[in-house]
Amino acid sequence: MDDGMRALLGKRKNRTLAIMLSEKEEIVDEYLPEEVAQELRKMILDYVNDFHDFCVDLVDSAESGMIFNKLALEKLDTIARALEDG
């Protein structure tokens, strides 16, 4: 993947994280104990970063001519559903 595409994906990931964490802090944190709020923050960061890394790997694989396998697509679907169900 070229550097421009990698930078674009990184910027979108960071923007997504900023929005999600900001909304969490404004809407949810007041109802949660501090420890739970921090665990939720970590979970959001972990899932979005994992999703980003998977997307980068997927694009890199596609560019190298590798054929996507069913397991990779299932993982992508699982991550997407986890983010949607939040």
Q: Is the pLDDT of residue 86 over 70?
A: no
Q: Is the pLDDT of residue 79 over 80?
A: yes
The amino acid that residue 23 corresponds to is E
The DSSP 8-state label assigned to residue 65 in this structure reads T
- Residues 54, 75: contact at Cβ < 8 Å? yes
Q: Regarding predicted confidence, which is higher, 15 or 82?
A: 15
Indicate the number of domains in the chain.
1
Q: Is the pLDDT of residue 72 over 80?
A: no
How many CB atoms are closer than 10 A to CB 6?
13
Residues 55-60, mean pLDDT to the nearest whole number: 86
The CA R_g of the chain, rounded to the nearest whole Å, is 15
% of the chain beyond a pLDDT of 90:
56
Q: Is the pLDDT of residue 22 over 90?
A: yes
Distance of CA 23 to CAs 3, 20, 26, Å?
A: 30, 5, 5
